[in-house]
Amino acid sequence: MSQASRRWVMNAVNQPMVREAAGPTPPQAGEVVVQVAGCGVCHTDLGYFYDGVRTNHPLPLVLGHEISGRVVAAGAGAEAWMGRAVIIPAVIPCGQCDACKRGKGTICARQAMPGNDIQGGFASHITVPAVGLCPVDEARLAAAGLELADVSVVADAVTTPYQAVLQAGVEPGTLCVVIGVGGVGGYCAQIAAAFGGTVVAIDVDPVKLETIGRYGAALTVNAREADPKTLKKTIAAFAKERGLSTREWAIFECSGSAAGQQTAWNLLVHGATLAVVGFTMDKVEVRLSNLMAFHARALGNWGCPPELYPGALDLVLDRKIELASFIERRPLDDINQVFAEAHAHKLTRRAILVP
State the DSSP string of 73-86: EE-TT-GGGTT-EE
Cβ contact 256:180 at 8 Å = yes
pLDDT tens by residue, the chain, 355 residues: 444 799 999 999 999 999 999 989 999 999 999 999 999 999 899 999 999 999 999 999 999 999 999 999 999 999 999 999 999 999 999 999 999 999 999 999 999 999 999 999 999 999 999 999 999 999 999 999 999 999 999 999 999 999 999 999 999 999 999 999 988 999 999 999 999 999 999 999 999 999 999 999 999 999 999 898 999 999 999 999 999 999 999 999 999 999 999 999 999 999 999 999 999 889 999 999 999 999 999 999 999 999 999 999 999 999 999 999 899 999 999 999 999 999 998 998 899 999 9
Give the CATH number for residue 241.
Answer: 3.40.50.720
Closest to 175 in 3D by CA, of 200, 144, 210:
200
Question: In terms of residue numbers, what domain contains 100?
Answer: 7-156+304-354
Looking at residue 281, what is its pLDDT? Answer: 86
Q: Where are the beta strands (DSSP E) in the chain?
A: 7-9, 18-20, 31-40, 66-74, 85-88, 125-129, 134-135, 175-179, 198-203, 217-222, 250-253, 273-276, 297-299, 327-331, 350-354
Helix (H, G, I), strand (E, B) or coil at 138: helix
Say yes or no: 19 and 137 in one domain: yes
Say yes or no: 185 and 146 in one domain: no
- Global confidence as pTM: 0.95
Looking at residue 1, what is its pLDDT? Answer: 44
Residue 267 burial (10 A CB sphere; 0-12, 13-18, 19+): buried
Say yes or no: 109 and 184 in one domain: no
Task: Check the CA dihedral 67-32-113-320 and report its sign.
Answer: positive
Angle in degrees, CA 318, 67, 277, rounded to 5: 75
How far are the Cα atoms of 41, 121, 327 from residue 38, in angstroms, in the given order? 10, 8, 11
Residue 152 covered by a domain: yes
Q: How many structural domains is the chain composed of?
A: 2
Looking at residue 92, what is its pLDDT? Answer: 97
Give the CATH number for residue 140.
Answer: 3.90.180.10
Looking at residue 23, what is its pLDDT? Answer: 84
